[in-house]
Amino acid sequence: MLNSQLIGSYISKLRKEKDFTQVELAEQLNISHQAVSKWERGESLPDIGTLVSLAALFQTSVDVLLSGGSRTVSSNHVGQMVNQLATHQLEGAASLLNAGDTDVYEFIAIAPLLKTGVIEEVIQHVNEERLNLEHVIQLAPFVNETLLGKLLTKLKIEECSWEQVESLAPFLPKPFLSDLLTKVNAPVTLANLLHLAPFLAGEIQSLMQQIDIEQINWHDIERLAPFISSDQLTDIIQKCNDSIETMRQLVAVAPFLEKEHIESIFLQTESISISKNDVLALAPFVSKSLLERLISSLKPNELTIQDVLALAPFLSNSTIENLLVEK
């Protein structure tokens, strides 16, 4: 990928050699001096058209500019690609990739400078034998779901790794992700599952069955909680070796549990001290009977009138009256 700090430093060097101020360079390029300042600090990069103008102004090539002046062999042909893209000759840019004059990885390197539509049009004209799964993974952040799905279909993937699935998961439509999961021949690990959980649907239930529950800790449970069923979450909590040590842990997973499941877990934690903040946090998720038990475990008069009012929607009228009488 492009090194924005290296490129920015080189632009700064060339500007100073020309004895331009940032404002003067900006005027030459018809942009703001703030844009020049951001380039030189490595916070952003010029767009494709501006790169061509910069190279002409500094009497250098786009290749040298993008390599930060290092003239590396790997970027010797990217300038041809940039010139084609700057003049919107997109089929010509694709031809450079098909002929091998520019490597696909070099095109991927400049993808952050291109609009999604430009990337997609070029890639659609690239012969499928020029692309592999690693190319698609690196292109994924820059193209839409539809094209990504088409590229994967073209590649006819027979096998992939969990790491490759993790890289693609945030960008793939659910059906393609489901299909990709069937191509992984290695057993899933807890780390894999934690990465993939936000993007999985029904598959997470079967994948969880491959995990040794006893090895799961509370941090893992809290990360998994939003993505698995209440039954499965309860099963993990009851079977893992990392027992509940504070009520805060139960508070963290309560929104993802059924009321009866919270009650069964609570029975294992009755020896753990509970604060009024825990009670207030658990109130929306527990039954009236359990909430009353939690309140009764507090110190006398620990709840203020404001606390009682906050709990009121979750309590019976008689319990509310009793609490207010105590005040």
CATH number at residue 43: 1.10.260.40
Judge if 266 and 291 occupy the same domain.
no
Rounded to whole angstroms, the Cα distance separating 252 from 169 reads 26
Q: Which two tokens stand for residue 57?
A: 């102004």
Q: Do the Cβ atoms of 189 and 162 come closer than 8 Å?
A: yes
Q: Please write the tens of the pLDDT for every residue from 258-267.
A: 999 999 888 8
What is the pLDDT, as a whole number, of residue 73?
45
On whether both 238 and 171 belong to a single domain, the answer is no
Residue 180 and residue 91 share a domain: no
Check if the beta carbon of residue 111 is closer than 8 Å to that of residue 102: no
Same domain, 62 and 151: no
**Each residue's pLDDT tens digit, 182-225:** 999 899 999 999 999 999 988 898 899 899 888 899 999 999 99
| The two three-digit tokens of residue 268, written as one number | 């294992």
Same domain, 97 and 215: no
Residues 263 and 174 occupy one common structural domain: no
Residue 243 has pLDDT above 80, yes or no: no
**For residue 201, what pLDDT is reported?**
83
44-101 per-position pLDDT tens digit: 999 999 999 999 999 998 888 988 887 654 545 688 888 899 889 999 999 999 998 8
Task: Work out the angle at residue 279's Cα, subtended by the Cα atoms of residues 326 and 228, and round it to the nearest 5 degrees.
Answer: 155
Burial class (CB in 10 A: 0-12, 13-18, 19+), 129: exposed
pLDDT at 108 over 80: yes
CA distances from 161 to 8, 166, 210 (A): 36, 9, 16
- 1 and 108, same domain (yes or no): yes
Task: Give the three-class secondary structure for 312.
Answer: helix
Following DSSP, what letter does each residue of 169-187 receive, concatenated?
GGGS-HHHHHHHHTTB-SP
Residue 20 is predicted with a pLDDT of 95
pLDDT band at 268 (very low <50, low <70, confident <90, very high): confident
Supply the range of the domain harboring residue 147: 131-186
**By CB neighbour count within 10 A (0-12 exposed, 13-18 middle, 19+ buried), where does 242 fall?**
middle
Q: Are residues 117 and 79 in the same domain?
A: yes
Question: Do 109 and 220 have their domain in common?
Answer: no
Amino acid letter for position 27: E
Alpha-carbon gap, residue 262 to 140, rounded angstroms: 40
135, 112 contact by CB (below 8 A) = no
- Give me the chain's average pLDDT, please: 90
Nearest to 176 by CA among 206, 141, 146, 135: 146
- On whether both 149 and 215 belong to a single domain, the answer is no
Question: Quick one: pLDDT at residue 229?
Answer: 92
Instruction: Please tell me the total count of domains within the chain.
Output: 4
* pLDDT tens readout for residues 4-59: 999 999 999 999 999 999 999 999 999 999 999 999 999 999 999 999 999 999 99
Confidence of residue 120 (pLDDT cuts 50, 70, 90): very high
Of 111, 128, 145, which closes a domain?
Answer: 128
204 and 266, same domain (yes or no): yes
With contact defined as beta carbons under 8 Å apart, do 75 and 66 qualify?
yes
In this structure, the answer to whether residues 81 and 169 fall within a common structural domain is: no
Predicted confidence at residue 323, as pLDDT, reads 82
Residue 327 has pLDDT above 70, yes or no: no
Question: Looking at residue 72, what is its pLDDT?
Answer: 55
